[in-house]
């Protein structure tokens, strides 16, 4: 209790009525709340989509700051803590409707770019289509920061920073852009990032609002609170599984790339002045770019023999020469 009282001092705790007024878009002046929510969400979606396609970090951050999507998400958390299915459902509908709106705007933006647009060459897209375990950890920490900031009267100034830290609208914009370009796999990766962030926010908010006494004020039993928290926790684990798999896969690819880099350097090192420019996996193909003083390359059979000892089978190796020529060296056995 000592830690809780320090994190949430009684003198600085906001009341349940204050939180409900802020987070429940169906309470109080609903017309004004809904108008502000949809207006700011539409504008933030346009900004995020433009920032994603222009690969502008500053523009995407601007979209994060004004995006209001975290409000109904935290409203879901408050509804769970209070064990009010109606409140949770109303907030959930705003989250779902808002997510659909952002994706649709992203799809519209994707229609104005050429079909040859390099999605993975855009850092704002590539950074959000393959989330890992660290993204989930960051989302949980950010969720607690946001919930604590909402629960305390004296730290509301940190909320813009929390809005920047948690990625809600940008990954949805990436989902729309990727769908508009026909890249379904990339869209699913960005959607996984959004879902992990959403569930992390709900879990953190539920725990903080429960500690705040939201459930006790409306007569929620300890068993009901534990059951609600358990359900959200299970959802977090389910979403976390593909993120863990992505993290492990990234480490495996990095390890295999380093092995191939060493082999390629030894292979091309037989030609004076030659060097390896890059080694990278594209799906199951290994691309090795080399630069040589002339068109002559060492026998690719030597490269394949060495790679067979370092890489798993079935990988197609493609060697790209310095003059733009390329050749398929073969497949590892």
DSSP secondary structure, 261-284, as one string: HHHHHHHHTTSTT-EEEEEEEETT
Q: Measured in whole angstroms, how far is the alpha carbon of residue 113 from the centre of its chain?
A: 23
What's the pTM? 0.74
Asked if pLDDT for residue 157 goes beyond 70, the answer is no
Q: In the chain, what are the domains?
A: 2-220 (1.20.1080), 252-331 (3.30.70)
Question: Per-residue pLDDT tens for 180-238?
Answer: 988 898 898 889 889 888 888 888 888 888 877 765 554 455 565 566 667 767 777 77
Give the burial string for 154-168 (b: 16+ CB within 10 Å, else e).
Answer: eeeeeeeebbebbbb
Query: Closest Cα to residue 196, out of 280, 106, 136?
Result: 136
Neighbours of 171 (CB within 10 A): 31
**Cα 313 from Cα 332, distance rounded (Å):** 5
| 165: CB partners within 8 A, 6+ apart | 138, 142, 145
- Structure token pair of residue 291: 């630069």
Query: Closest Cα to residue 183, out of 191, 202, 33?
Result: 191
Model pLDDT, residue 295: 62
Question: Per-residue pLDDT tens for 32-49?
Answer: 999 999 999 999 999 999
Asked if pLDDT for residue 118 goes beyond 70, the answer is yes
Question: Per-residue pLDDT tens for 307-333?
Answer: 888 888 778 888 877 654 445 566 665
Residue 83 φ/ψ region, left for φ over 0, alpha for ψ in the -120 to 50 degree band, beta for the rest: left
Asked if pLDDT for residue 276 goes beyond 60, the answer is yes
Share of the chain above pLDDT 70, in %: 86
């Amino acid at each position: 209790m000592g830690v809780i009282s320090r994190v949430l001092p009684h003198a600085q705790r906001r009341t349940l009525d204050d939180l409900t007024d802020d987070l429940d878009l169906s309470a109080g002046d609903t017309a004004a709340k809904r108008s502000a929510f949809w207006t700011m969400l539409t504008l933030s979606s346009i900004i995020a989509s433009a920032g994603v396609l222009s690969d502008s970090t500053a523009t995407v951050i601007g979209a994060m700051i004004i995006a209001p999507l975290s409000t109904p998400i935290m409203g879901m958390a408050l509804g769970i803590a209070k064990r009010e299915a109606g409140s949770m459902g109303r907030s959930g509908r705003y989250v779902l409707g808002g997510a659909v709106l952002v994706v649709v705007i992203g799809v519209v933006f994707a229609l104005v770019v050429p079909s040859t647009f390099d999605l993975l060459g855009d850092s704002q897209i590539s950074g959000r289509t393959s989330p890992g375990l660290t993204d989930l950890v960051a989302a949980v920490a950010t969720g607690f920061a946001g919930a604590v900031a909402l629960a305390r009267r004296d730290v509301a100034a940190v909320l813009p920073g929390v809005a920047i830290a948690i990625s809600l609208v940008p990954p949805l914009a990436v989902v729309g852009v990727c769908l508009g370009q026909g890249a379904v796999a990339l869209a699913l990766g960005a959607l996984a990032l959004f879902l992990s962030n959403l569930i992390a926010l709900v879990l953190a908010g539920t725990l903080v609002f429960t500690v705040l006494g939201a459930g006790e004020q409306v007569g929620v039993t300890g068993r009901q609170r534990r059951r609600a928290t358990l359900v959200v926790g299970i959802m977090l684990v389910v979403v976390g599984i593909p993120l863990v798999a992505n993290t492990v896969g990234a480490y495996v690819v990095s390890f295999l790339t380093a092995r191939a880099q060493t082999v390629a350097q030894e292979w091309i090192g037989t030609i004076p002045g030659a060097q390896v420019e890059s080694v990278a996996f594209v799906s199951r193909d290994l691309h090795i770019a080399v630069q040589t003083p002339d068109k002559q390359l060492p026998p690719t059979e030597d490269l394949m023999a060495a790679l067979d000892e370092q890489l798993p089978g079935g990988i197609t190796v493609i060697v790209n020469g310095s003059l733009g020529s390329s050749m398929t060296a073969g497949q590892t056995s």
